[in-house]
């Protein structure tokens, strides 16, 4: 069995590798070759933690496995990121455990890759202003990946905790782009693409604040009860997702479906657009919304690449197991 420690991941895998792996596995889902198993996610009644498993199998790449871990909100005071996870890959022919891979950086990179894929396929080509809602750990990864997809000329941002926004200003500065903090009314009025990546449990962005033609990537809602945008925005947008079953249960769509103002038949998997089965955006005025719930197949696809690269670079630790 191979171990690829968390400390090696940053030197092994690039954001571009992650983008390619995530784009490919979304397409594999559309070909009905890859599927996720039901998610387990539980409040364990200790350390305010949410712990769970996400697992799946891709018959095209033979990536089989699971990500175990979750969200420990008090970790920052311990010098740790609050998302902690490990990815286990299994040999699809024998069931033997093939690798354990540090999952923390991979989670951030694969989540950023998902919204970047949605921007590639759904945002207007001429998108110039990128709006960020949220400034936590994931947000910088989101911003960096999104900036690769269009010729953005400005980054605008809002966060519930304004003191955290310097993290995004730094990324914008690194990319040579102007950065401005706005309220949500103005952020919606100026942005061509909006990414939300918060741990909010109440709607932040209102339907009336989003202008025609905007692409919105809702990336923070990955659990029952979380919510970043008004259900009315979901109802008025053309909605795409990584996986419909997750979108209606733990994703942003859960609220609009519960309210009966949208239904799962109206939601399109992004893999269908990647594989050419769905045309994606239909007009310059359409609001597109990507509900990025975070699926096991993203983790397995990126971890598989990390294992191959670790073998090539000689940094995979082999143990008898």
Using alpha carbons only, what angle is made at residue 34 by residues 21 and 65, rounded to the nearest 5 degrees?
A: 75
User: How many Å apart are CA 49 and CA 69, to the nearest integer?
Assistant: 10
Residue 67 annotated to the active site? yes
Give the x/- contact pattern for ligand NAD in 92-121, rule: CB under 6 A.
Answer: ---------------x---x----------
User: How many Å apart are CA 219 and CA 154, to the nearest integer?
Assistant: 21
Looking at 59, 128, 137, 278, which residue binds ligand NAD (CB under 6 A)? 137
SS3 6: helix
Bridge partners of residue 215, in order along the sequence:
193, 288
- Cβ pair 245, 293 in contact under 8 A: no
Task: Give the strand pairing for 40-43 and 50-58.
Answer: antiparallel
Looking at 222, 230, 243, 269, which residue binds ligand NAD (CB under 6 A)? 222
User: How many Å apart are CA 100 and CA 155, to the nearest integer?
Assistant: 37
Under the binding rule (CB under 6 A), the answer on residue 304 touching ligand NAD is no
Looking at 28, 84, 138, 262, which residue binds ligand NAD (CB under 6 A)? 138
User: Whose Cβ is closer to ligand NAD: residue 132's or residue 256's?
Assistant: 132
Q: Which residue minimizes CB distance to ligand NAD?
A: 136
Looking at 19, 51, 71, 152, which residue binds ligand NAD (CB under 6 A)? 71
Looking at 15, 33, 62, 164, which residue binds ligand NAD (CB under 6 A)? 164
User: How many Å apart are CA 98 and CA 102, to the nearest integer?
Assistant: 14
- Cβ pair 286, 212 in contact under 8 A: yes
As a whole number of Å, the end-to-end CA separation of the chain is 6
User: How many Å apart are CA 257 and CA 263, to the nearest integer?
Assistant: 5
Looking at 28, 55, 61, 82, which residue binds ligand NAD (CB under 6 A)? 82
User: How many Å apart are CA 67 and CA 117, to the nearest integer?
Assistant: 21
Under the binding rule (CB under 6 A), the answer on residue 69 touching ligand NAD is no
Q: Least separation, in Å, of the C-beta of 82 and ligand NAD?
A: 5
Under the binding rule (CB under 6 A), the answer on residue 55 touching ligand NAD is no
Give the x/- contact pattern for ligand NAD in 182-211, rule: CB under 6 A.
Answer: ---------------xxxx---x-------
Under the binding rule (CB under 6 A), the answer on residue 134 touching ligand NAD is yes
Q: Least separation, in Å, of the C-beta of 197 and ligand NAD?
A: 5
Looking at 159, 214, 246, 254, which residue binds ligand NAD (CB under 6 A)? 159
State residue 175 phi and psi, 5-degree precision: -90, 5
User: Which amino acids are annotated catalytic?
Assistant: 67
Interface positions with ligand NAD (CB under 6 A): 71, 82-83, 107, 111, 134-139, 159-161, 164, 197-200, 204, 219-220, 222, 226, 292-294
């Amino acid at each position: 069995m191979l171990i690829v420690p968390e400390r090696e991941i940053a030197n092994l895998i690039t954001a571009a590798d992650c983008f390619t792996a995530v784009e490919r596995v979304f397409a594999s889902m559309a070909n009905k070759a890859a599927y996720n198993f039901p998610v387990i996610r539980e409040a364990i009644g200790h350390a305010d933690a949410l712990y769970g498993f996400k697992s799946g199998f891709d018959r095209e790449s033979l990536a089989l496995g699971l990500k175990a871990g979750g969200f420990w909100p008090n970790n920052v005071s311990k010098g740790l990121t609050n998302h902690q996870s490990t990815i286990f890959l299994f040999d699809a022919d024998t069931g033997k455990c093939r690798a354990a891979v540090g999952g923390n950086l991979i989670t951030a990179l694969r989540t950023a890759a998902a919204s970047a894929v949605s921007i590639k396929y759904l945002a207007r080509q001429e998108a110039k202003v990128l709006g960020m809602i949220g400034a936590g750990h994931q947000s910088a990864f989101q911003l960096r990946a999104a900036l690769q997809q269009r010729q953005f000329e400005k980054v605008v941002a809002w966060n519930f905790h304004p003191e955290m926004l310097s993290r995004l200003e730094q990324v914008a500065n690194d990319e040579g782009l102007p950065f401005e903090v706005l309220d949500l009314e103005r952020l919606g009025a100026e942005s061509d693409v909006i990414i939300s990546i918060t741990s909010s449990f109440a709607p932040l962005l209102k339907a009336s604040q989003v202008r025609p033609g905007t692409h919105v990537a809702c990336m923070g809602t990955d659990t029952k009860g979380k919510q970043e945008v008004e259900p009315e925005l979901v109802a008025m947008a053309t909605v795409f997702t990584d996986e419909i079953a997750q979108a209606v249960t733990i994703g942003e769509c859960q609220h609009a479906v519960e309210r009966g103002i949208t239904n799962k038949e109206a939601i399109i998997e992004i893999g269908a657009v990647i594989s050419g089965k769905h045309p994606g955006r239909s007009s310059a005025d359409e609001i597109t919304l990507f509900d990025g719930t975070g699926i096991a197949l993203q983790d397995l696809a990126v971890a598989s690449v990390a294992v191959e690269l670790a073998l090539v670079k000689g940094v995979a630790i082999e143990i008898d197991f």
